[in-house]
Chains A and B, each alone.
Chain A
Amino acid sequence: MLTNKLKFYGLGIGLRDEIQKDILSYLEASSKQTLIQWLEIIPENYINNGGLPRKRFEEVLAKGVPLIPHGVNLSIGSAPQNKKRLEFDFYLLKGLKELFEEIKAPWFSDHLVNSRIGSHYFQELIPVPFTKEAAEVVANNIKYLEDYFQIPFLFENPSYYTNYGLRELREQTFINLVLEKARCGFLLDINNVLVNSMNHKYLPKPFLDDLDLKKVVQVHLGGLKRGYTSKLTGHKIKALDSHGEAVSDVALDLFSYVIKKTKVKAVLLERDMNFSEEGFLGLIYELKQIRKIMDSKYDSEEENEAEKTKLATNQTENISSAEPVTLETEANNRPASSLIDNKTADLNMNPSSIMSPTNSIPAITAVDDLSKNQLANDLDSLNEEFADLG
Chain B
Amino acid sequence: MAKLYQIQQEIKKYFMGKTPNPKILSPQVQKELSIHKSLALEKINITMKQCFPLCFKILKDYWGEIIVDFYHNFPSKSAIYLQMSKNFSEYLKSLVFKMKFRKANFPKWLNELAEYEWAELDLSTFHPQDFINSERKKDLNEGDYVKLMKAHKIFKFDYPVSKIVEHLNSQRKIYNLAFFKKQKETLLIFRDKQDKVRYFLLSPGSYFLVDNLRYGIGLGDLYEKFMDKFNIKEKERLDTNQKIQNLLSNFRQEGILT
* A→B interface (CB under 8 Å): 44-45, 47-55, 73, 78-81, 89, 91-92, 95, 114, 116-129, 131, 133-134, 137, 161-162, 164-166, 168, 228, 230-233, 235, 237
Contact = CB atoms under 8 A, between A and B. Distances in A.
A122 B71 CA distance: 8
Nearest to A136: B4
9 contacts: A51-B125, A122-B12, A125-B36, A161-B32, A166-B1, A230-B31, A231-B41, A233-B30, A235-B35
B94 interface: no
Interface in B55-105: 75-82, 84
Given A50-B125, A230-B38, 10 more contacts: A48-B126, A51-B123, A51-B124, A79-B8, A92-B79, A114-B8, A123-B84, A131-B1, A162-B36, A168-B1
Nearest to B75: A120
B195 A55 contact: yes
A143 to B, nearest CB: 17
A231 B68 CA distance: 11
B119 to A, nearest CB: 13
Contacts of A168: 1
Interface in B1-35: 1, 3-5, 7-9, 11-12, 15-16, 25-26, 28-35
Q: Which of B32, B77, B78, B81 has the most CB of A within 10 A?
A: B32
Nearest to B24: A164
A137 B4 contact: yes
B43 A124 contact: yes
Interface residues of B, number: 49
A123 B8 contact: no
Contacts of B125: 49-53
A129 B33 CA distance: 12
B133 to A, nearest CB: 16
Contacts of B31: 230, 233, 235
A121 B75 contact: yes
Interface in B119-173: 123-129, 151
B39 interface: yes
B76 A121 contact: yes
B213 interface: no
Nearest to B123: A51
Contacts of A128: 4
B112 to A, nearest CB: 23
Contacts of B81: 44-45, 123
Interface centre among B36, B75, B126 (most CB of A within 10 A): B36
Contact of A237 (B35, B128, B151): B35
B40 interface: yes
B42 A231 contact: yes
A150 B80 CA distance: 22
A207 to B, nearest CB: 20
B43 A123 contact: yes
A137 B6 CA distance: 13
B214 interface: no
B198 interface: no
A129 B151 contact: no
B191 interface: yes
A57 to B, nearest CB: 11
B219 interface: no
Nearest to A228: B35
B76 A50 contact: no
Contacts of B75: 120-122
Contacts of A117: 8-9, 11-12, 15
B49 interface: no
Given A44-B81, A122-B75, A78 B8 contact: yes
A230 B34 CA distance: 6
B126 A49 contact: yes
Q: Would you list the 3 A-B pairs with minimal beta carbon distance, nearest first? A: A162-B32, A73-B79, A124-B40
A261 to B, nearest CB: 31
A133 B126 contact: no
A79 B4 contact: yes
Contact of A120 (B12, B35, B126, B191): B12
Contacts of B41: 231-232
B32 A50 contact: no
Contacts of A232: 34, 37-38, 41
B44 interface: yes
Interface in B155-210: 191, 195
